[in-house]
Structure 1
Amino acid sequence: MTDFQQQAIKLAAQQQPLAWLEHFRALAANEWLAQPWPTRKTEHWKYTPLQGLQKTQLTSWGVAGIAANHVQSEFIPLDAHRLVFVNGVLDVANSTMESTYLVRFSQASAEQQALIQTHLGKIVEGERHLFATLNNAWLDDGVLLYVPRNQRLDKPVYIVNIATDTCAANQRLLIVLDDNAQAEVIEHYFSQADIQDGFANSLTEIHIGDGAQLQHYRLNLEAEQAQHIGAVHVNLQRNARLRGFALALGARVMRIDYQINHRGQGAELDLQGIYVPRNQQVVDYHTNVCHWVPHCTSNEVFRGIISDSAQAIFNGRIYIHKDAQKTLAELSNKNLLTSNKAEINTKPELEIYADDVKCAHGATISQLNENARYYLQSRGLSRADADVMLSFGFINELLEQIAQPAVHDYLQPRLAALFGRDMSLHTAAGMAELSND
C-alpha cells in the first residue's frame, strides 16, 4: 500500500455519499487498498510514468463554481443537452438538463436507482483496472443517461469537464441504451494552463442493448501539467453498434483505457483515435477489445504524432474467445515522430482461440517522408511549412471521418494551429497520401 492509496481513501472520507451507494463504495475502498501499486514491472503500466502522480498530495475536492467567460469560449457550439462540471462540481448556470433521459445519481428515482445498481461497475473486473476501483471508492454522484427501448435522443448529450483549480475530481457517467435505442454523446475535458498537481479520475460505463446504436466522442484537451486517468468500459449486445472517436493532446500524465466486450452476436465496433503530445507531455492509450461470441466485427484505427521530447504509449489488444467463430477484427496503429527525442512504445496484440476468424493487426513508426518534403519545397514551401502540412495530413484522414459537424469544425482549427498555422484541411488531406508513399 502506498501513501497515494492511503491519501485517496482519506480524501473519500471528506465526501457525503449517497446512502444507497455506501456499500458499493466500501467494497471498492477495500479493494483499492489491497491492490499493489503499478511499477515498471507491471505489464499494463510498464511505460506509463506514475512517479509524479504518486507524489501528488490529494488534500481537497473541487468547490462549486461557474465557468468564466473565457472558459465558456472553449465550449463546442452545439445544440445539445449540456452538462458542465467545474472541478468535478456541477455548474448549474451553464447546464441544460432538458431531457428526461438524463439524471444525476443524487436525483434518481427509486426505479432509476435500481437501474444504476444493475449496471454500475459490472463491465470489468477491478484487479485489471486499478483506477476504476478508485473511481468506485470516490463515487459520491454521477450522471445517468438512459434511453428506453425504440427511442432516439432528440439531440446530442454534451458533457463538459473543466479543471480550473488544483484539486481532485471524480467523474462518472453511466450510459444505458435499451434495445434499438439511439444516442450521441460527447465528453469534453479541458483545463487552464496554470493548473498544478490536480488529478482527474474519470470513468464512463456503457451498456448498448440489442440493436441499439451509440456515437461516442471523448476529447481530452487538458493543459500540459494536468494529470488525468480515465476509462471507457462498454458491453455490446446482439446487433449493437458503437462508433467511437478519441482525441488526446497530452498532459503530465494522460492514461485512457478502452475495455469493449462483444456480448451479443452481430455486434459492431468502429473506434478511431488521435494523439498528439508535444513538449514533455505523455499520452497512453490502452485498448482491450474482447470477442466473446460469434459473428461480430471490430475495426480500430489510432494515429499519433509525437513531437519534441513527448512520449506516447499505445497498447491495443484483440481477444478472440474459442466460441467467437466468424469474427472479423482489425487493428491499425500508425505513428509519426517529428523529433529525434520523441518516443513511442506501441504494442498491438492478437490473442485468438477460434479457428474460423479473419483478423489483422499492425503498427508503424516513421518520420516525415523526405521525398514528400522535397516535393513541397520544390513548389515554394519552406521546410517548416512542408513539415506542418505533412504532419497535419497524417491525421487529417481520421478528422475528416468525424460524423458530428460541430465536433469536426471545433477540432479542425485547433489542431491546425497546434501544428503551426491555420491551413486548408483539403490541402493537407491531399498531402497525406504523399506522406504515406
Structure 2
Amino acid sequence: MSSLSYLAGFGNQHVSEALPGALPAGQNSPQRCPYGLYAELLSGTAFTAPRAVNLRTWMYRRQPSVVAGRYEAYTQPLWLSGAANVKASPPQPLRWGPLPWAQPGLDFVDGMRSYAVNGDPDAGVGIAVHLYVADRAMGRRAMVNADGEMLIVPQQGVLQIRTEFGCLAVEPGEIAVVPRGVAFKVDVDGPVRGYVCENHGAAFRLPELGPIGSNGLANPRDFLVPVAAFEDAAGPYEIVKKQDNHFWCSEQAHSPFNVVAWHGNLYAYKYDTRLFNTINTVSFDHCDPSIFTVLTSPSDTPGWANADFVIFPPRWMVAENTFRPPWYHRNVMSEFMGLVYGQYDAKPEGFKPGGASLHNAYVPHGPDTDAFAGASAADLKPHKLDHTLAFMFETRLRLRPTPFALGGGAMLESNYDQCWAGLADHFNPSTR
C-alpha cells in the first residue's frame, strides 16, 4: 500500500471507509448502520478523561467482537509482563549479543522473547521489553493484547501488520504502534527480528517541545495511519489473547479484520525515524537523551515518564572543547537500549545490531575505554554520524531481567563490565 493512501497526523481525529457511505451520517450509532454493519466503540481512556487526551474510535464492522469462541489456556512461557513474575537481579550493567534465530516455523507470537519487565499491567503502570524472531506468517491467526499497547521496532525484515483499522508495512528504520486491546496479525516473507515495548501505562503520545518551540523532533504530520480495509475471505480464525500476563486462545468462525469504516483518534500508526528533526548542540556539552524523544507515556508525576521512546539517528556532531559522546552517568531512569543498524558512538565495537543492553536506575555506565580515549583526543571539527540507528526504552521503574535474558538463549555477555576495565586513574595533583 502506498504511503499516499494513508491518513497523516498523530493524535488527530481520522475518518476512513472501505466502501463509500459506510460511515453513518450525523450520529455514531444509528438504529440501522449502512450496509447492515454493526457499530462498536473502542475506548483507549476512561470516558471522562479530559477532551485533549480522550482516546476513542467508532468502528462499523460486519460482525461485532462479541461473536467469538470460548477461550482455552495457551502456552507462551517466554513472553512475560509484570515485575511480580520475575525475581530482582544484581545492580550491574547487562548487555546481550544479537538474539539468535530460533527453530524455524515461529510466528510473531511464538517467536517473542521477554528480556526485562517492570510495573503491573493490572495497575496500568510499567512496561515489558521483548525481542522477537520469526519466519512464518500468522496467516489465519490474530493477536489481542489486553495488557498493553505494542511499540514495534523492526531490526531485520519487513513486517506486514494487519489491524482492525487497516494495514501497515513496517521496515527497519520505521516503528509501528498497535493500541491495547486491538486485534492484529503480522505476516512476514522470510526471517524477521526486532524489538517490542509493551506499554502498560498511558498511551504513547508526542512529547511537549518546551523551549524548542513549535517545530522539531517528530512532526505530527509524519505519522501514518492505515485506511479501512476488511478481509473478505471466509473461514475460521484463531485468536490468541494476552490478559493479566496469561495467554488464551479461541477459534471464531470469521475474520476479526472485518471493519468496513471507522472514525476517531485511537488507531494503529507507523513512523519513519528518518523524518525525525534532530536537535543538537553547536556550542558545548552533550545534550540529555530526552532531546531525542519520539514518543512518551506520561506517569502521574509530571516529567517522570512511565516510558519514553528515544532514538539516536544520523546527526551532525558539532561542539567546541567538549567530550562529545555521553559522559559517565547514573540516572534515575532505567534504560533498555537496542541497535537497529550501524554503530553506536559510545560503544563502537561492542554493541551489535540486534543486540541490547540494560542499565537500571543508578547503575553507572558510559563510553567504553576505546570510545573515551578516542573522544578525548579527537579533532573537534564537524563530524557526521551516518547510517546508524540506536534507541532506548526509558522507564521510571527498575527493569527486572527475565530468566530467559539471564540464561544462555539470550546471548548474555558475561564480561560486559570489562569494557571499562582500562579506565585507569590518571590523577596528578601537580599537573592541572
Structure with more relative contact order (C-alpha pairs < 8 Å, separation 6 or more): 2
TM-score by length of 2: 0.25
Which structure dedicates a bigger proportion of its chain to helix? Answer: 1
- Name the larger-Rg structure: 2
TM-score relative to the length of structure 1: 0.25
